Amino acid sequence: MIHPYRPDSRVIRLIKRMGEEPNPKQIRILCMNKVDLIEKKKELLKVAEQFKDLPGYGRIFMISGLKGSGVEDLTKYLAVQRPWDEDPITMSEEVMKNISLEVVRERLLDHVHQEIPYGIDHRLVDWKELRDGSLRIEQHFITSKMSQRKILVGKNGSKIGRIGIEANEELRSIFKREVHLIL
């Protein structure tokens, strides 16, 4: 904090250094808080004056968080709608991979009970978008005990098959395309 009667030279140097170096990738603002503690507003203006010509700051705000003065202006400035870096409707591949893992894990928890699901490691092994637009997703379950593997697979593969069918249907619904899930 810069106190107008006892300024801290380190803080002033830092503010000036950041303000002297404009960064085209960042919009910086200087926000001076606790202005309600300054009785003489001329003292406050003296402090602000030394920063006004720094090109690195788009705006300077003087606020009192306690009393709320200037906060509305700061909020309006920060709340300006800006364009998304990515299309918010389009899911990234990383998000889709995580969703596929979560959906399969949910189905595993639905069909394999007690502590067994927690002893099974579950990994995404392969993810490919095929020429026809469908997805090929391969996930593996790794068990530490043969008894867990037998329970997971079920009689004649019935349990792992049911998990795969249900997860595949849900993934097809989420991704709005054909999914080839291999467990």
- What is residue 67's predicted lDDT score, i.e. its pLDDT? 87
- What is residue 89's predicted lDDT score, i.e. its pLDDT? 65
Report the candidate in 124, 183, 123 with the shortest Cα–Cα distance to residue 154.
Answer: 183
User: Cβ–Cβ contacts within 10 Å for residue 39, how many?
Assistant: 9
Q: What is the residue type of 34?
A: K
On whether the pTM is more than 0.85, the answer is: no
Rounded to 10 deg, the angle between the 158-175 and 93-111 helix axes is 140
Q: What are phi and psi of 109, to 5 degrees?
A: -65, -30
- What is residue 94's predicted lDDT score, i.e. its pLDDT? 87
Q: What is the residue type of 60?
A: I
Burial zone of 162 (CB within 10 Å; 0-12 exposed, 13-18 middle, 19+ buried): middle
Across the chain, which has 183 residues, the per-10-residue mean pLDDT values are 63 75 75 81 76 75 85 86 70 88 92 79 94 95 89 91 95 95 95
> CATH: 3.30.300.20, 3.40.50.720, 2.30.40.10, 3.40.50.620. Which one for 93-182?
3.30.300.20
User: Cβ–Cβ contacts within 10 Å for residue 122, how many?
Assistant: 15
Q: Can you give the residue ranges of every domain in the chain?
A: 9-78, 93-182
137 token code pair: 């997703």
- What is residue 140's predicted lDDT score, i.e. its pLDDT? 95
